[in-house]
Amino acid sequence: MSFTGTVKSEISKKKSSKAEYIAELSALFRNLAEIRDTIKLTTENPVLARRIFELLKSLYDIHASVTVRRGYNFSKNYIYILEIRRRKDFILEDLSIMKNNQYQNIPNDYLIDDDTTMKAYLRGVFLAVGSINDPKTSRYHLELVVDQVEYANFINELLNQYELNCKVLKRENKYMVYIKEAEKISDFLRLMGASNAVLYYEEIRVLRNQKNNTNRLNNCEQANVDKMIETATHQIEDIKKLENEGLLDVLDEKLQVVCLYRKKYPDVSLKELSEIITLETGHKISKSGIYHRLNKIHDLAIKIK
């Protein structure tokens, strides 16, 4: 099962109050229902089909007829179609889908007038049209794909009341409300009541961050090594220029010592070179002392050139 399916399976089992069930079912109807002589709700998710069936039975004492078909285009998935014939008008009005025989794009305020019903409505939207990438994949992404820009903006506003930093993007003839930040996606899962999904998501996110930090440190270390080798190579080139001109012997003793040891240990850092010289000559010299002496040698090499 995909991570999206796992999350939907978990939140489909959530127990709620009657007001929350109505808000959730309203979102499911708004995004899945085809309203004609009867109401048809279509989904490929068997868990969601069972959830809708149970909510209709619990709230309206309706037993929706269920039809199972093979998916189109040789899909291996089954399609579940729930059809409602009885009390159709009452259900649509109670769920704030219709009012005075007019379709409502946005539900009435009373349907989501507190925090619990607002979360329940968003839960219904996710169950109907939501998807979320597994945190093991290369990018963090959660999206809700709806049919109209007005409705997309409405959902976007609801989500951003929880500071989730959502955005709306047009995708062909649909509109996508999406979240890209890993922390915000985790917050969304928490809002939905998907506790197990949150624990899994956070565990993977922490492991990914640790891996990324390790890679960054390794890259920095490698960059420092590369820079050190490049610098040492230039320093040895300067020394060879002086040597080719027969000028090493005319340098003062301190510069000659640095030249000798730089050639002898071309792969060590200045700090390591200072420790080696101090140990082998018995004369203490600091990293900055070697740096200044090599700068003098460099200046002489430039003058020769």
* Domain assignments of the chain as residue spans, ordered by start: 3-193, 218-304
Cβ(159)–Cβ(193) below 8 Å: no
pLDDT tops 70 at residue 162 = yes
**Residues 289, 285: Cα–Cα separation, whole Å:** 6
Cβ(175)–Cβ(169) below 8 Å: yes
Residue 230, pLDDT score:
80
pTM: 0.69
Residue 73, pLDDT score:
61
Query: 83 vs 68, 86, 167, 210, 264, CA distance in Å?
Result: 11, 10, 34, 49, 86
pLDDT tops 90 at residue 239 = no
Tell me which fold the domain 3-193 belongs to. Endonuclease I-creI (3.10.28)
What would the pLDDT profile of 49-63 be if each residue is shown by its tens digit?
999 999 999 999 989
pLDDT tops 80 at residue 232 = no
Per-residue pLDDT, averaged over 210-235, amounts to 73
